Structure formats: structure tokens, C-alpha cells
């Protein structure tokens, strides 16, 4: 079937992040060798109309501009939709502006020159879209992607719209509150100028680290934006041109607001530098990523098989003869959908502000610096959730079918929803991890010491061991393991190992060395283990050679190794630590994990409390 052929053309590598409505993987197009990003959307877990997803695809597929993320293909695989997009290594522009503010890293600020370049590129993108009769409707830094070479691209067309008449207007209330133009909020009819307002807010966001009113609840922002005078860029450190540019974008009367084309002639834009100047941002970002605690194990692609397995139900309906039988109680979980969608004549879309507001309050709290970009309104609450969502990378995977409706939204509140943050980023596996921003700053100062400087030769080798041996081995075994419990156990071990790698690459190297030595010294084992994988002898997950090695250490009391061990005693504590950890993996909490959980709970509690105070009626 041609549909299946589509999927087999790609080798899926690992997860890049959870995007606007699905999980994004890095993959290789086998026919061309090109690296691509593939968004997987689990259609079973979305109550929302497939039509909405399709409309995003159709808008994307009709765009060919260097300023817009390039759509490549889409196809169905079972109930998963794969959308293939170009891969950009740099990540969202959002991250560049934000890091500095979260952690006061210096010198990390996006400066005026950077913002000028980004704005110019965005204007070129918007000019293209607008002349094609498209309105993006959700311009914000989170939806701006950078490539490693510094190219700037508009992404996420989830709420974009195609006008059939270039001069027609829209009324639909969509967007993300902080970035929404007054005319959009007032539902008075708006056109492409709405994107220009959002661009102005995005510029402010990039330079300030957050949009105006970021500390206000999004519901309240919806009242503030039309009522208050337009935000301005404050501060004498910024040039007159920059301040004027922002003022031009943020003209409340959309008729007097300039178009993208006009703004491209603005002095601030004309004097902007080359995109290559943005490369330093990406480099800095990667450094930053490297500097924070070592991201834990990448999440590998795994195909969900259980939902698609053909059902062999002995309790078929009886259509011909009468037959006494009972049917087993079925366990079904599912998402709810407003029934009106079915009965009404296709009026599935939310268009009223009230509706949007109602959806809003449970999921969005005031922005603070550690929070993700707030979700775009009109997306249902469900669609945003990737099918496989991890609260933290160390938590075991949960099949989508185990989730209860709404739970992820509620429990993560504004904090851990960072996991869903758009991060289609990065071009090497170490920075490509998805790590919630929640765990990142928190674990920095507590559980996990900062990553050791890789200076010594051993340390460098240790890193190499991890990158070349451990990491790929885990990948491989993970891919070969079908059982969910085993997978979980395995990924916990992988996490533990990567934690070790972060803390003590030297020890890691020594450990590896020891393992190999011991395997080789045992005549029986060396025969079996040296060339290929071991076989499983017990119920523990089938693991890489290293894992079996670890088990061996525990078991071995080979006398002629004792002297050797004494010689290596300096590194033994490290090894002992590993020992403790390894045997009882499945039940054991990996350090850092329970901590994450607590923190998530605390943050959620605080968020919920704040919400109650502000909105007693809610």
C-alpha cells in the first residue's frame, strides 16, 4: 500500500520534542539521506476534527518560501499521522531570549541587532504569506524557528487561515492572548494586519524575555489589550529606530498599522545585519544546553502496536443464531468530545471568545519565566497533548490509553507543561533532549551537581564511551524490547547512566574499562560476550553488553580479579554506587526523579492557588 511505503522511507531516530499537537522526531529520509523532522499526531487521542489538522497541512503544503518551514509530506500509519517537515537545528527563537531571563546567564541577551534581523526575516515571511492570502494568526517567538545557519522561519500553522479573497476578513477568535491584536480580541473583523501586531509583541518578547503583561492571567490580558494604550519599548539603551519600529507595529487602529511590505522599508529593518549573525545565538544556546545538567536519555521512537493489533474477540455479535454467551467487560478509555460537534452541521470550530475563555482558564496561568509559551487558543485542550507525554524524561512512558481525560493538563498546570513546549531543535543528540524547563533549573542546584568539565583524558574517553557505546546500545536494545515494563526499566537505567556521564565521565570511563576487563578475564563469558549480545537468563530487561557486564560484576568473585580490584579501589565507590542501583531497577526511583515529581506538585499547587485567588469563581 502506498500509504505504508511512505513511512518506510524514513528512519526515525529520536524525539526532538512535543510540538503543538504531537510529538516531533528527528528522522532520516532513506532515499535522500536528508535529515527531517517528523511530527507524529495520534489521531485516536484527538477529539478534535481531523479537518483542522488537514487544514494546517494544506496551508503548509501550499507554501514555498525560505522564510516558512518547509512541508515535505504527510501520510497515515494506522491511526498516526506523520507530517514530514524540514529539519532546523537551531530551535525556537523563544529559547534565545528566554534563557537569559530565566537564569541571568551572561552574556546571553538577545540584543537589538539580533531582534532586527529576526524581525526582518519574519517580515519577509509575513509578506509572503499575506500576499498569498494567508494569515498566520499565531506569530510569537515560540513559533519562530532558527536553523543552525541562522535562518529564521515561521512555523506552526495550526490556526493559520487562507483567505479566498485577498481583502476579506476573519472574525474567528484565535491566537495566543498575549500576542493577540486588539481587533482580533474584539472580534470586529480583522485581516493580515493582525500578524503585524503580533510581530511587534514578538519583538518585545525577544528583547525583554517575555511579552507585555506576562505576569497577568491570560484571561485578563484579553481585557487589557483592547483597553490599554499599546505597549511601547521602554529604555534609553534602545535605538530610536527600534522603538519606532515597535510603535509602528503596535498601532491599535489596524487601518493605520503598516503592512509587512511597508515595514520592510523601515529604517530599523533596512539597517539589520545578516542572518549569519544569529549563529552566535544558536552556538550560545548549545553551550547553554551543554552547561546545564546533562540532559537525560533521549526518548526513542517506538511504535505503538497494542492499539492496532487486530482484535480477536470471541464475543462477536450474533447476527444469525441465538447463542448464549457473556461478554467480558471492556476497558475503554477515551477522550470526550462535545457531542454538538456531531449533531450540528459541522460547526465544530470554536469561534466565540467565551468558549475560548472557558477553555483557557484551566490550562493557562500567568506567564512567568519558567513557563512555556502559552498554548494557542482554539486548539482543543486535548489536541495539544502529544500521544506519549512524559512529565519528566525520567518517568516511565505512559501509553496514551492510560491517560485520563484532561489529567495531563490539570496536573501539570503551567509548570510541567513545558514538556509540551515546542522544541524541534538541535542537531546533536545531547542538546536535542527534551527536558522540561522545570527540572532543569531546579535540579541544577540540588540533586545533580553541575556537569563536570571534561578536561582529563579519561573524562573525554568517558564521554566518548557514552556517546559511542552506551547511548547507541541503549537505543538499540530499547528498540528491540517490546515489553513496556522492560522498556521502562531500561530507560531508567539509561537515565541513571547518563546521570553518571554528566557527573563523572572519568568514573564512567573507569567503570567501562573495568567491565570490559572483567568480561575478558572470565573465560566463559569472554567467549560468549565479546563478539555479540548476551542472552537473557532472568526476567530483567534484555540489555546491552554493558548491562550484562554490570550484572557480572555483582556476581563475580573471581579470585584472580581481586588483586585487580584492589588496584582499582580508588574508583570503587563509584562502581559500588552503580551496583546498588543496577540490580533492583524496576522498582527503584532514580535520583532526581522523585524530586522532579515533588517540584511539579509544589509548582502545580502554587499555580492552582494563584488561580483560585485571582479567579475565585473558577
Partner 1 sequence: MSFLFGRRPRTNTVDLPKQAKEQISKLDGPGAAAKAEELAKTLGQMKFVLQGTQETESSPEQIYSLVTGMIQEDLLYLLAFNLYRLPFESRKDAQVIFSYVLRFRPPSASPKSEPMALSYVINNRPEVLVELCNGYNHTESAAPAGTVLREVLKSDAATAIILYHDPSEGSPGAKGLTGIQPEARQSGRGVFWKFFDWIDRGSFDLSADAFNTFRDLLTKHKTIVAQYLSTNFDLFFSKYNTMLVQSQNYVTKRQSIKLLGEILLDRANYAVMTAYVDRGEHLKICMNLLRDARKMVQYEGFHVFKVFVANPHKSIAVQKILLINRDKLLEFLRHFLEDRTEDEQFIDEREFLIKQIRNMPPTPVEPAQKPALLGSQAR
Nearer to partner 1, 194 or 222 (CB): 194
| Smallest distance from partner 1 to CB 399, Å | 13
Nearer to partner 1, 62 or 171 (CB): 62
Nearer to partner 1, 114 or 335 (CB): 335
Is residue 41 reached through a cis peptide bond, with omega within 30 degrees of 0 on the bond before it?
A: no
| Smallest distance from partner 1 to CB 340, Å | 8
Nearer to partner 1, 79 or 579 (CB): 79
Please answer whether residues 492 and 396 qualify as being in contact, where contact means their C-beta atoms are separated by less than 8 angstroms. Answer: yes
| Smallest distance from partner 1 to CB 617, Å | 20
Strand partners, 68: 154
Nearer to partner 1, 234 or 315 (CB): 315
| Selection from 353, 398, 403, 368 nearest residue 382 by Cα | 403
Catalytic one of 29, 42, 47, 138: 138
| Smallest distance from partner 1 to CB 593, Å | 27
Q: Is 190 exposed, middle or buried (0-12, 13-18, 19+ CB in 10 A)?
A: buried
Catalytic site includes residue 138: yes
Strand partners, 175: 377
Nearer to partner 1, 1 or 527 (CB): 1
Describe the chain by its helix, strand, coil percentages, rounded to 5.
45, 10, 45
| Smallest distance from partner 1 to CB 97, Å | 30
| 516-547: b (≥16 Cβ within 10 Å) or e | bebbeebeebeeebeeebbeeeeebbbbbbbb
Nearer to partner 1, 334 or 480 (CB): 334
* DSSP single-letter state for residue 254: T
Q: Residues interacting with partner 1, by CB under 8 A?
A: 1-3, 6, 43-44, 47, 50-51, 54, 57-58, 61-62, 64, 74-76, 78-79, 81, 130-133, 162, 164-167, 192, 259, 261, 307-311, 313, 315-319, 321-322, 325-327, 329-337, 339, 342-343, 345-346, 401, 404-406
| Distance from C-alpha of 357 to C-alpha of 378, rounded to nearest angstrom | 10
The three-state secondary structure class of 57 is helix
Non-local (6+) Cβ contacts of 95 within 8 A are 285, 423, 425
The number of beta carbons lying within 10 Å of the beta carbon of residue 67 is: 20
- Residue 39 annotated as binding site: yes
| 238-254: b (≥16 Cβ within 10 Å) or e | bbebbbebbebbbbeeb
Please answer whether residues 119 and 199 qualify as being in contact, where contact means their C-beta atoms are separated by less than 8 angstroms. Answer: yes
Q: How far is CA 245 from CA 145, 181, 210, 306, 426, in A?
A: 22, 16, 18, 54, 31
Q: Is 317 exposed, middle or buried (0-12, 13-18, 19+ CB in 10 A)?
A: exposed
| Smallest distance from partner 1 to CB 133, Å | 8
Please answer whether residues 487 and 478 qualify as being in contact, where contact means their C-beta atoms are separated by less than 8 angstroms. Answer: yes
| Smallest distance from partner 1 to CB 306, Å | 9
| Smallest distance from partner 1 to CB 372, Å | 25
Nearer to partner 1, 83 or 502 (CB): 83
Q: Is 68 exposed, middle or buried (0-12, 13-18, 19+ CB in 10 A)?
A: buried
H or E segment at 555? helix 545-555
Binding residue numbers for ATP: 39
Residues designated as active site = 138
Binding residue numbers: 39
Amino acid at each position: 500500500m502506498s500509504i505504508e511505503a511512505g513511512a518506510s522511507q524514513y528512519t526515525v531516530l529520536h524525539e526532538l520534542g512535543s510540538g503543538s499537537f504531537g510529538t516531533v522526531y528527528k528522522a532520516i529520509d532513506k532515499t535522500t539521506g536528508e535529515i527531517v523532522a517528523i511530527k507524529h499526531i495520534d489521531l485516536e487521542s484527538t477529539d478534535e476534527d481531523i479537518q483542522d489538522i488537514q487544514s494546517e497541512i494544506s496551508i503548509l503544503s501550499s507554501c514555498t518560501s525560505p522564510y516558512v518551514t518547509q512541508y515535505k509530506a504527510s501520510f497515515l500509519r494506522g491511526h498516526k499521522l506523520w507530517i514530514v517537515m524540514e529539519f532546523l537545528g537551531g530551535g525556537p527563537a523563544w529559547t534565545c531570549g528566554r534563557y537569559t531571563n530565566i537564569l541571568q546567564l551572561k552574556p546571553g541577551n538577545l540584543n537589538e541587532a539580533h531582534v532586527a534581523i529576526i524581525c526582518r526575516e519574519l517580515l519577509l515571511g509575513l509578506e509572503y504569506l499575506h500576499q498569498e492570502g494567508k494569515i498566520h494568526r499565531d506569530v510569537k517567538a515560540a513559533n519562530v524557528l532558527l536553523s543552525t545557519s541562522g535562518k529564521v522561519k515561521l512555523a506552526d500553522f495550526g490556526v493559520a487561515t487562507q483567505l479566498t479573497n485577498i481583502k476579506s476578513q476573519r472574525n474567528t477568535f484565535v491566537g495566543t492572548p498575549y500576542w493577540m491584536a486588539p481587533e482580533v480580541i474584539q472580534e470586529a473583523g480583522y485581516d493580515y494586519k493582525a500578524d503585524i501586531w503580533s510581530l511587534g509583541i514578538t519583538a518585545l518578547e525577544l528583547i525583554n524575555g517575555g511579552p507585555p503583561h506576562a505576569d497577568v492571567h491570560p484571561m485578563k490580558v484579553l481585557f487589557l489589550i483592547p483597553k490599554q494604550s499599546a505597549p511601547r519599548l521602554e529604555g534609553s539603551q534602545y535605538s530610536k529606530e527600534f522603538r519606532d519600529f515597535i510603535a509602528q507595529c503596535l498601532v491599535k487602529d489596524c487601518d493605520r498599522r503598516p503592512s509587512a511590505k511597508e515595514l520592510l522599508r523601515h529604517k530599523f529593518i533596512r539597517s539589520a545585519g545578516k542572518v549569519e549573525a544569529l549563529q552566535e545565538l544558536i552556538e550560545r544556546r548549545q553551550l547553554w544546553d551543554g552547561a546545564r545538567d546533562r540532559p537525560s536519555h533521549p526518548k526513542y521512537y517506538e511504535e505503538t502496536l497494542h492499539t492496532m493489533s487486530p482484535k480477536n474477540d470471541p464475543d462477536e455479535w450474533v447476527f444469525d443464531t441465538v447463542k448464549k454467551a457473556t461478554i467480558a467487560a471492556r476497558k475503554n478509555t477515551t477522550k470526550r468530545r462535545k457531542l454538538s460537534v456531531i449533531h450540528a452541521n459541522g460547526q465544530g470550530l470554536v469561534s466565540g471568545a467565551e468558549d475560548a475563555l472557558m477553555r483557557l482558564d484551566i490550562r493557562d496561568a500567568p506567564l512567568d519565566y519558567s513557563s512555556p509559551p502559552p498554548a494557542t487558543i482554539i486548539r482543543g485542550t486535548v489536541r495539544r497533548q502529544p500521544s506519549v507525554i512524559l512529565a519528566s524524561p525520567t518517568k516511565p512512558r505512559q501509553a496514551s490509553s492510560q491517560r485520563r481525560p484532561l489529567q495531563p493538563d490539570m496536573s501539570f498546570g503551567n509548570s510541567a507543561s513545558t514538556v509540551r513546549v515546542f522544541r524541534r531543535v538541535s542537531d546533536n543528540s545531547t542538546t536535542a533532549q527534551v527536558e522540561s524547563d522545570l527540572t532543569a533549573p531546579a535540579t541544577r542546584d540540588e540533586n545533580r551537581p553541575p556537569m563536570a568539565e571534561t578536561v582529563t583524558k579519561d573524562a573525554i574517553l568517558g564521554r566518548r564511551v557514552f556517546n559511542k557505546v552506551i547511548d547507541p546500545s541503549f537505543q538499540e536494545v530499547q528498540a528491540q524490547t517490546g515489553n513496556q515494563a522492560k522498556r521502562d526499566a531500561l530507560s531508567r537505567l539509561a537515565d541513571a547512566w547518563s546521570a553518571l556521564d554528566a557527573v563523572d565521565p572519568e568514573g564512567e570511563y573507569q567503570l567501562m574499562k573495568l567491565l570490559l576487563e572483567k568480561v575478558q578475564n572470565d573465560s566463559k563469558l569472554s567467549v560468549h560476550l565479546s563478539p555479540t549480545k548476551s542472552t537473557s537468563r532472568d526476567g530483567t530487561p534484555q540489555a546491552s553488553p554493558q548491562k550484562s557486564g554490570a550484572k557480572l560484576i555483582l556476581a563475580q568473585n573471581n579470585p584472580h580479579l581481586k588483586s585487580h580490584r584492589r588496584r582499582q579501589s580508588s574508583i570503587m565507590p563509584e562502581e559500588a554506587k552503580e551496583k546498588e542501583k543496577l540490580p533492583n531497577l524496576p522498582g527503584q526511583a532514580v535520583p532526581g526523579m522523585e524530586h522532579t515529581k515533588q517540584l511539579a506538585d509544589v509548582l502545580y499547587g502554587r499555580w492552582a492557588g494563584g488561580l483560585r485567588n485571582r479567579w475565585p469563581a473558577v
